[in-house]
Chains A and B, each alone.
Chain A
Amino acid sequence: MDDKDLLILFKEEGKGNYAFNLIVEKYSERLYWHIRKMVASHDDANDILQNSFIKAWSALPNFREESKLFTWLYRIATNESLTFLKHAKLRSFLSLSDYSKQVENQLEADPWFDGDNTQRIFRKAIMTLPSKQRAVFNMRYYDEMKYDEISEVLNTSVGALKASYHHAFQKIQKILKASI
C-alpha cells in the first residue's frame, strides 16, 4: 500500500489505528537506523523512535501532504534526535563530564556494535561532529539522500547543507588519516 492510500485509510472513520500500524510497520526500521546513527546507543534510539511515532500519531490528522510522508516522518525523527542530543549534552555539561568522551566509551562498550576497527574509528569520528552536521553527514553519506531532500528534512538551504557536509567530510577525513 502506498503512502497516499495509507493516509486515506487513516482518515476513514475507525480505521486510524490500523492505518497507523501499517505506517509504523513500513517505516519503523528505516527510521530506527537513521536515529541509531545519530545517537549510537540502542536504548536511546529505541526511546526516540517510539517518541517520534507517538508525535507523528498526534500530528498526522493535521498533516497537509506538502511533503512526502516519509520525509515528514524523517523530519520528526531527526528533530527528536537533535533534541535528545541537546539535552544529553546539557546533562553531561551539568555533571561536568565530557559528552564526546562518554559517546566514545559507549561505542567501545556497546554490545550491539558489530563493526571492525576501521568502522569503529569512523563511527567515533562521526560522533565528534556537532549534532546537525552529523545529521547532514549521515543522510548524505549513509542514506545517499539528495541535498534537496535533506533540505526539506532539516529546513536548511542547499548551500548551507553542502558547506556543512564539506566541513564534516574534512574533519572525519583528518581523524581517520591520523588513526588508521
Chain B
Amino acid sequence: MRTNFNIEDPSNKEHLQENPFKVPDGYFHNVRMNISDKISDQNRKINFWTIIRPQLGLVSAFAVVFLFAYTIFQIFPTDNKNELTTTTVISSNSIFVEEGFLNRSFIDFFYSSLDSLTTPNTEINQDELFNYLSENIDLVTLSYLDVKD
C-alpha cells in the first residue's frame, strides 16, 4: 500500500488523465451519420405535424361546438310539437267560436260567467227555438230531423 499516492501529483496526474477508454473503429463517423439520419426523421415528423396540427385543431373545435350544442339539446329539449298542437287547437277553436258552434274560446275559458260549471244553463224558450229554426233552417233539413214530441 502506497500511503503517499496523490492524484494531484504531476507524475500521477499525467498518467491518470490519460483516456483509458476505447471506441469501436469508425465509431465517430457512424455516430455522426446516425445523428444526421435521426434529425432528418425528426424533421419529417415535425413537417407532418406542422401541417396536420392546424387542421386537427379546426376539426376538434367543430366537434366540441357540435357536442356542446347536442348536449344542451339533450338536457333541455324544446317541445315544439306541443306548442304547435296548442296553437292549432286555439286557432281552430277560435274558428268554432266565430261560427257559433262554441260559446267560448280557450282564452276566455277562465271567465267564470261563461263557465258552465259555475253558471247555470239558461232555459231555452220553445217559441224562440221554433222561430230560430224556421228562420235559419230550410224545410228539407227540418224534415230530416228526428223530432221528439
Contacts and interface: CB of A to CB of B under 8 A. Distances in A.
Interface of A: 17, 20-21, 24-25, 28-29, 32-33, 36-37, 42, 46, 49-50, 53-54, 57-58, 112-116, 118-120, 122-123, 141-142, 169, 172-173, 176-178, 180
A118 B2 contact: no
Given A42-B21, A142-B17, 10 more contacts: A24-B32, A24-B36, A32-B23, A37-B21, A46-B27, A50-B35, A172-B7, A173-B6, A177-B1, A180-B5
Contacts of B36: 17, 21, 24
Given A46-B31, A178-B1, A169 B20 contact: no
20 contacts: A20-B39, A24-B32, A24-B35, A24-B36, A29-B28, A37-B21, A42-B23, A50-B38, A53-B39, A54-B39, A113-B21, A115-B18, A115-B20, A115-B21, A119-B20, A123-B20, A141-B17, A173-B6, A173-B7, A180-B5
Contacts of A118: 15-16
Contacts of B50: none
Contacts, number: 87
A141 B35 CA distance: 29
B92 interface: no
B25 to A, nearest CB: 11
Interface string B8-29: 1000010111111111100110
A25 B19 CA distance: 20
Contacts of B18: 115, 119
Interface of A is mostly: helix
A20 to B, nearest CB: 6
Given A177-B5, A180-B5, A114 B20 contact: yes
B128 to A, nearest CB: 101
A28 to B, nearest CB: 6
B86 interface: no
B103 interface: no
A142 to B, nearest CB: 6
Contacts of B21: 33, 36-37, 42, 112-115
B42 A120 contact: no
A149 to B, nearest CB: 18
Interface in B38-70: 38-40, 42-43
A165 to B, nearest CB: 11
Contacts of B39: 17, 20, 53-54, 57
B3 interface: yes
Contacts of B17: 141-142
B32 A114 contact: no
A50 B34 contact: yes
A53 B35 contact: yes
A122 B7 CA distance: 9
Contact of A113 (B5, B22, B24, B42): B22
Nearest to B39: A57
